[in-house]
Amino acid sequence: MESKGNSEPSPKVVKRLTWIIPIVLIGVIFLLKNIRNPVTDVLFYIVCAGVIILVIFSIIKETKSR
């Protein structure tokens, strides 16, 4: 049987991850922008789109919780 006690992460961990993940992604953006290569240009736009989607979902979640 599965233990249901640890099935959801604590709100403190989720709050920290919502700050850490965008900072890491922005660092990856700067790293990819400094490397001149067609592949890194594509990855740059993919990571940028990921950051934008993450911010939009964070805003939607914040407005729904109010």
Mean pLDDT for all residues in the chain: 75
**Under 8 Å between Cβ of 47 and 29:** yes
Please, which residues have CB within 8 angstroms of residue 55's CB and are 6 or more apart in sequence? 22
pTM of the model: 0.55
Query: How far from 65 is each of 28, 35, 61, 62, CA to CA, in Å?
Result: 30, 40, 6, 5
The tens digit of pLDDT for each residue in 11-30 reads: 777 777 777 877 787 787 77
CB 59 within 8 A of CB 41: no
pLDDT at 65 over 60: yes
Pull the structure tokens for residue 35: 């490397």
- pLDDT higher than threshold 50 for residue 43: yes
Q: What is the pLDDT of residue 1?
A: 45
